[in-house]
Amino acid sequence: MASGTPDNAQEPRQTVPEKRSLAPGTRRINVVLTQQQYETLEKLANMQQITLSDALRQALNIGDLVVSANADPDTKILLQKGDKTQELKIVR
């Protein structure tokens, strides 16, 4: 006890992230989001009662669909609400 630390004191533990095995063909990434982006992702997940990871995967799939459709002049994505129909396009 000469160091001033009680005998029963424990050293702080460092947490080590679990290394879970991933499914074949998958990758783990870290993503940095602004507060607004995080809140939007959280809102999408909560609305559908899915995880944040699933909401992010869904957003990536939808983004790919929109970009691919805009790259093809013969393809249009139409949004219909009531009797109104609009074309979804990416504006650069």
Task: Give the gyration radius of the chain's Cα atoms.
Answer: 23
Q: What are phi and psi of 81, to 5 degrees?
A: -130, 115
Q: Where are the domains of the chain?
A: 35-88
Strands 77-81 vs 84-88: parallel, antiparallel or unpaired: antiparallel
pLDDT tens-digit series, residues 60-75: 999 999 889 888 989 9
Asked if 55 and 45 count as a contact pair (C-beta separation under 8 A), the reply is yes
pLDDT tens-digit series, residues 29-85: 999 999 999 999 999 999 999 999 999 999 999 999 988 988 898 998 999 999 999
For the full predicted model, state whether its pTM sits above 0.75.
no
Q: Which of 30, 63, 59 is nearest to 43 (CA)?
A: 59
